[in-house]
Structures are given as structure tokens and as C-alpha cells.
Amino acid sequence: MTRRKFLAYLGRFAVLFAMVGQALAMLRSIVPNVVYEPPKKFKIGYPDDFSEGITFLSKHRLFVIREGNTFWTISAVCTHLGCTVNLVTFPKPKKVKVGKKEFTEQWEFHCPCHGSKFYGEGTPFAGPAPRPLPYYPLDIAPDGQLIVDTSREVKSDFRFVLNV
């Protein structure tokens, strides 16, 4: 390679580099740095607002379940492609077997988009859903309201017990 040729290549490379760099800089601007979204951790109301059994919070796409002083939450967002699952309640409790565990359920979750079906505790048993419906941690805020954190998932045995 001669010096003249080297400099010619260098010049071409510099032009290309500058153009690609500018293009990338412009494209980078459409990746948001700040999003103005509702917080992932939010209050859902006082424990006594919830009746025994399951409640659907349509605003948060979340199910809250109460058994006496015990509370837990299951997401209503299908793990397949994000539709809101429908709550299907049974007039009589039904016995089902999930893996080796057997339990009675009073409701199931059915997704209208692609037919995924989940048992009452969130495990999928039909359709394309690849994972169980996620559980989110529940806690009590200083003002006495229940507070949910949807930014992290917890295991399905998570239960929040209210101290009375």
C-alpha cells in the first residue's frame, strides 16, 4: 500500500464513519430515556375493601384474592401475548391436579385471544401460554392500604397475612 492510497482509504473511511455515526445518533433519539408511565408500585385500597374470594382490578389488570386475613395477587395479563384473561367462576368448587399437588378451585382464567387456560392458582393447562400467571408481592403501606409492586415477581406460595 502506498501512502497516497492509504490516505485515500482513510478519507473514505472518515466520511463513512461520520455518516454512520450521525445516522446512529439520530436513531438513538427514538429510544426513550424517560417514560411518563404510572408507577409500577401502587396502592390498591384498604384490606376491608376486598370481599372474601377474588376481585378483579380492571385498572391494574390484576386479581386480588382474600381468604380471611390472607391476601395475594395474580396478574391478569396472559403470559402468551399479553391479552387480559377472563375470570371464569364455577358454581361448585372443582378438584384439579397440578403436577403432584391436588387442590380445589372455584375459578379459572381463560384468555380470549389464543385460548390459553390457567387453573385458579395460575398454572397453564391448555393453549399456548408458556408460563404460569405471575404473582406480585403485596405489603401494607403506612396509611393502612395494600400496596402492590408489579416490577418484580414472587413465587406462587407468596401470601400476605394481615396482623390484626
Partner 1 sequence: MEKLSEWWKKLTWTFAPSSKVEATKAVTKNFILHWFPARVTYRSMSWSYSWWLGTVSFSLFLILTITGIILMFLYIPSVERAYWTIKDLQHAVSFGWFLRNMHRWAAHLMVFFVTLHMVRVFFTGAFKNGGNPDANRPVNWAVGMFLLVFTLLLSYTGYLLPWDQLALWAITIGANIAKSVPVMGSYLHFLLAGGTRIDQNTLIRFYALHVIVLPALLLVLVSYHMWRVRKDGGLAVSEQYKMQAKKEGKRLVPDDYTTFAIPALIRRAFLVFLISLGAVMLLSIISNAPLEEPADPSWTPNPAKAPWYFLWLQELLAITTIRTPWFTINGGFVGGVVIPGILFLWGLIVPFIDKSPNEATGVWFHPSRRLQNWTFGIIMLILAFLTIFAMYFRGPSWNIYWPWAWPPIPHLF
Residues in contact with partner 1 by the rule CB under 8 A: 30-32, 35, 37, 56, 58-59, 61, 79-84, 86-89, 110-115, 117, 127-131
What are the residue ranges of helices labelled H in the chain?
3-28
Whole-number minimum distance, CB 75 to partner 1, in Å? 13
Looking at beta carbons only, is 60 or 159 nearer to partner 1? Answer: 60
Whole-number minimum distance, CB 112 to partner 1, in Å? 4
Identify the CA nearest to 122 among candidates 101, 136, 111, 108: 108
CA–CA distance, 119 with 106 (Å, rounded to integer):
9
Whole-number minimum distance, CB 151 to partner 1, in Å? 10
CA–CA distance, 154 with 75 (Å, rounded to integer):
11
Identify the CA nearest to 107 among candidates 83, 133, 91, 89: 89
Whole-number minimum distance, CB 37 to partner 1, in Å? 6
Looking at beta carbons only, is 76 or 146 nearer to partner 1? Answer: 76
CA–CA distance, 118 with 40 (Å, rounded to integer):
24
CA–CA distance, 104 with 93 (Å, rounded to integer):
6
Looking at beta carbons only, is 56 or 158 nearer to partner 1? Answer: 56
Determine contact, residues 113/148, Cβ cutoff 8 Å.
no
Looking at beta carbons only, is 12 or 40 nearer to partner 1? Answer: 40
Looking at beta carbons only, is 3 or 101 nearer to partner 1? Answer: 101
